[in-house]
Structure 1
Amino acid sequence: MAQVKKSGNFQEAHLARVLVTGGAGFVGSHIVDGLLENGHEVLVVDDLSTGARSNLPANAEFVDFDVANDGFVSVVKSFGPDVISHLAAQSSVPVSMSDPNLDARVNIFGGLNVIRGAIEAECEQVVYVNTGGALYGEPEYLPCDEDHPIRPISAYGLSKWTAECYFRTMLPDSIPLKVLRPANIYGPRQDPHGESGVIAIFLRKMLRGDQVTINGDGEHTRDYVYVGDIVEAHEKVMKHGESLVVNIGTGEGTSVNEIFRRLQEVTGYGEPAHYGPPRPGDVRHIALDASRARRELGWEPKVGLIEGLKMTAASMRNADE
């Protein structure tokens, strides 16, 4: 297998052995699909606490394992990856606020195990999928670029940032670190039963004719990016030769009320929204400046919001049939 030692750069015909943590989850499974389609050899490590084996194609090698357990390093060394793509996470803001110990165990101690595994297996690069939506806190300016002050207001944002700091500090220079800071990701396979992912949650309720609850007044805004655009960013950052931190987003904020109205149009749902109390730890407004990703990676979002909502709704309808 053609490889580029210690460069972290897999250009053109240079394919990689990639270990994907959290690869059976919503975002991770799409990244696994992209890696396999591009010819990479993939091992998925996931404890299925929120992911599902059914999200993965039959030709994806799979190990059921918790990344925060000590034995993870042995799993890494046994596979011998060129790249570790780290997506395993506790990603719910409400859960992080109610159980910060669980959040820290998965997001911080899991990250430390990835660092150990990457060093002991002599990996050629690590891709860390952080958060952009929960990292910067209440913004001083919009859209936020990568130099915006980092001051998360949720335990989730704090733990994801802490893990990034550990990666930056503890990985040797010989292992390039590629950090993606995505906005709010949506698309097919997102769990509509979870605590996060307002589009999937609203869609499921609308398609079943159930009442939709908006937390707060609905005027809080998010930057919504389609999961297929995240897959493209992941492939491009793997091919980038040096360590890099990039936001991945559209630069535009959309209110939850607007998402509700757009989904009404897509689904034909005619009931009004019900309004509940705001959730602790949620920022009021966020949008990400992805100029660096455009400049360094040649990446830009390709799927507009309306098109993405339609594709997500169609996928959910098909899954329910």
Structure 2
Amino acid sequence: MFAKKDLIYTIYKEKSFSKAAEALYISQPSLSAMVKKVEAKIGEPIFDRSTNPIQLTETGKKYMACCENIKKTEEAFLNYLNDTHELKTGSLSLGSNHLFMAHVLPKLIQIFVNRYPLITLNLIDSHSHDLEKKLLEGDLDLIIDNKELSSDMYEKFFLGTEFLLLAVPRKLEVNDRLKPYQLTYEDIQHNKHIHNEQILPTPLSCFADLPFVLMHEGNDTRTRADNIFLRQAVKPKILFELNQLATVYNLISIGLGISFISDTLIKRSPAMQDQLYFYQIDDPDTKRNVFFHSKKNRYVTKAMEEFIKISKEYSPLSSSAE
């Protein structure tokens, strides 16, 4: 009924079939035939053809009012799309674990908010299982995690790489015989633990008699630690199992055991710098990639694209290849 509204609107504005046909570059008989088809669907004439210039009938006036409302709605939607593409409106929902929310995302969020202050940003801080559930259900647009999700269900966007190091309290005697292997906080800050042949990896067996503070089972850091223990033939003495890596780090910094800690956390914990030494363990599980994940086949909005772009440009993580 409104498919030919633009043609009919042109007739209304020109007040003449012949002038409208000329403006539309079609023949007058063709234009008249199209209008009659619309009028037949309505069951009433739109134009009073007995007047000169032609006038709208009462039904025609109502039809034209509807056409103008449709036109305004279309224009409003086009303006919305333009604003969305220019990020003048819209929202973005991000999810992350506690570590990345505290130490990786703040800088990226600040840059994004400064550039696009009109975008509503929603943040969720939770554990990996809950984040994946919210992503699958559509409650989150993006999550950042060092646990790689199923490629059958999620798209991934590489953000960076982090490395696990064995953190050992300086007061422990084991450090005295491992000086060639030691790394300090300053070394980590300068990335001397990455692709540096002068820093030797340490056999995990050197620490086999020391108590470990580990994450709970199911956590990616714990899974990697268990894999390392298995490959290095070390059966760890587990003192505590915890949910947050930051809590693990705080405990070992006061001498309560040793643990695997990510360089992401080490670099952002200067208060611990004089309490610990760090050691590289030669194992593939000490290196892990960090990704943004989105739900597969879900439309990637301009806001999502821009946040990922900013994150890649300003990521505080190592830019090692996947």
Q: TM-score, normalised by structure 2?
A: 0.28
Q: Which has the larger radius of gyration?
A: 2
TM-score w.r.t. length of structure 1: 0.28
